Amino acid sequence: MNNPLKAQLQSTERTRGIVFLSLLCTLAALTFRTTLPSDISAQARNGATTKVHFSDYRVLFDRDGTGYPASSASFVYRDGKLSMIFQKASDGDSGLQASLTESPNLGKTWSQPVPFGPAVSDKKTAFQACHFSGVSAKGTLVLGGFFNPSGIQTSGEGINWRPNTALIGRQPRRDQNIEWTRYESGTFLGEQFVERGIVTRKGRIVLAIWGSARKGDNWQCGVLLSDDDGKTWRYRQVGYTSDLALRDRAAEPVGYNEQTLFEAHDGTLISMIRGRQKLAQLTDGRPRETYFSRSISKDVGETWSTPEVTNIAGTGATGVGLVLPDGSLLLAARIPHHVETTWIRPANPKLYGLHLARSFDLGKTWQTEKLLQHDPEHTEFDNYYNTMNGQFIQLSANRWIYAFGQFDMRRKIHRMLALDLSWK
């Protein structure tokens, strides 16, 4: 790497850290855009359907045996170099923080991982997640994450109540520093799980966020909006219901949480939202269904329609979806707990893995584009956590990578997988 990251970032209200890669100083806004430029969308105007070709399914990164488990990651690609922030996927285990590595050849070789993110005072106790979130119209790199002083699963109330500090980082173009801002619990929500986001054609930065506003509330999902290059943020709610009868267990919150964001060719923002328990099931006899709901915004994220359940199910999905040249949407979702309750037919009780689905009506209905049920060595997936939430990464106008984590507790595997997507 050009300039390895220094781990001694000060954990103050606003902190600055020495950046690890000079390439991040000059990131273009296109890196995190998920819609192609308007001049490439002629297919949408002439009615031609984009045919997606999938190829080169492979192991992208595997350092589990040397102490770097990677089943959750985010990426940025620039000047032929792929940068990855990664960590072991978990619900917030003590002692987990992020690392960073770089590849000059799309994953054939990687640099030695280095710690990444604001300094953590007690690394054995704390949990901290960091990721690439987007690049502004001015080329400012935006990063997100959250911090808990102690592991979520090993203290307090576990997943029932997880108040945390939201983290948002900025690295302006040509600046060698990352400026981190800490937003204490209660700034936007009580639980503040900041996720990835998009930069709209109008230049607005839109980051997904979810959590409970107060202890005892159901989860809600929303977006953080910035019109000043990521310096200030405001919260807008996307999905929320206060009905406690939606819970299967009284103490365990349910509601809307993770989102997949799209910006359609006409500027409409679309959120495909994961729901839990009775909020996402179709009948009372199917308690573990997790059908996605859909909400849209016609005013660049200021207001959102009431979420409506769709025909696609999953236990998680990529944070930002792909809008193809013909205007259709491509979503990569984990096949849910009970495949017999999904719309995939014929039902296969051992169907686990990755579901690549496509919508031609802005997310109202979905159809299968590809099912991926095994790893690159052709070992069948046997659990709904085997394919973790991933990211679409643009390499050129018509070539992308989809990278995602493989999380296999039984075989003790934590690594990143990838496949290529292309079209003519």
Q: Give the β-pairing of 53-61 and 72-78.
A: unpaired
Please, is 65 exposed, middle or buried when counting C-beta atoms within 10 Å of its C-beta (0-12, 13-18, 19+)? exposed
Chain-centroid distance, C-alpha 223: 13
| pLDDT value of position 153 | 61
Residues lower than pLDDT 70 in the chain: 1-46, 153-156, 282-289, 337-349
Q: Where are the domains of the chain?
A: 14-422
| pLDDT value of position 2 | 34
DSSP string, 265-292: TTS-EEEEEEE-GGGT-SSTT-TT--EE
Q: Which residues of 295-332 are buried (b: 16+ CB within 10 A; e: fewer)?
A: bbbeebbeebeebebbebbbbbbbbbbbbbbbbbbbbb
Calculate the alpha carbon distances from 352 to 139, 314, 391, 411, 423 in Å: 39, 10, 19, 16, 27
In total, the chain counts a number of residues equal to 424
**Rounded to an integer, what distance in angstroms lies between the CA atom of residue 24 and that of residue 98?**
17
| pLDDT value of position 278 | 82
In sequence order, what E strands does 25-68 have? 53-61
**Rounded to an integer, what distance in angstroms lies between the CA atom of residue 309 and that of residue 368?**
17
61 in Cβ contact with 415 (< 8 Å): yes
Report which of 61, 57, 52, 64 is spatially closest to residue 82, judged by C-alpha positions.
61
257 in Cβ contact with 314 (< 8 Å): no
Kindly tell me the sign of the dihedral angle through the C-alpha atoms of 131, 134, 136, 139. positive
**What's the CATH code, domain 14-422?**
2.120.10.10
Please, is 251 exposed, middle or buried when counting C-beta atoms within 10 Å of its C-beta (0-12, 13-18, 19+)? exposed
Structure token digits, residue 66: 């040397």
| pLDDT value of position 276 | 82
**Rounded to an integer, what distance in angstroms lies between the CA atom of residue 61 and that of residue 75?**
12
The pair phi, psi for residue 389, each rounded to 5°, is: -60, 135
**Rounded to an integer, what distance in angstroms lies between the CA atom of residue 295 and that of residue 363?**
9
9 in Cβ contact with 115 (< 8 Å): no
- Helix, coil or strand: residue 158: helix
**Rounded to an integer, what distance in angstroms lies between the CA atom of residue 89 and that of residue 386?**
11
Structure token digits, residue 160: 């029932």
Return the bridge partners of 3, or none.
none
pTM above 0.75, yes or no: yes
**Rounded to an integer, what distance in angstroms lies between the CA atom of residue 242 and that of residue 305?**
17
Please, is 288 exposed, middle or buried when counting C-beta atoms within 10 Å of its C-beta (0-12, 13-18, 19+)? middle
- Type of residue numbered 226: S
The pair phi, psi for residue 417, each rounded to 5°, is: -110, 165
| pLDDT value of position 252 | 86
| pLDDT value of position 383 | 85
Long-range contacts of 342-351 (CB under 8 A, 24+ apart): 342/289, 342/312, 342/313, 343/311, 343/312, 343/313, 344/368, 344/371, 350/380, 350/382
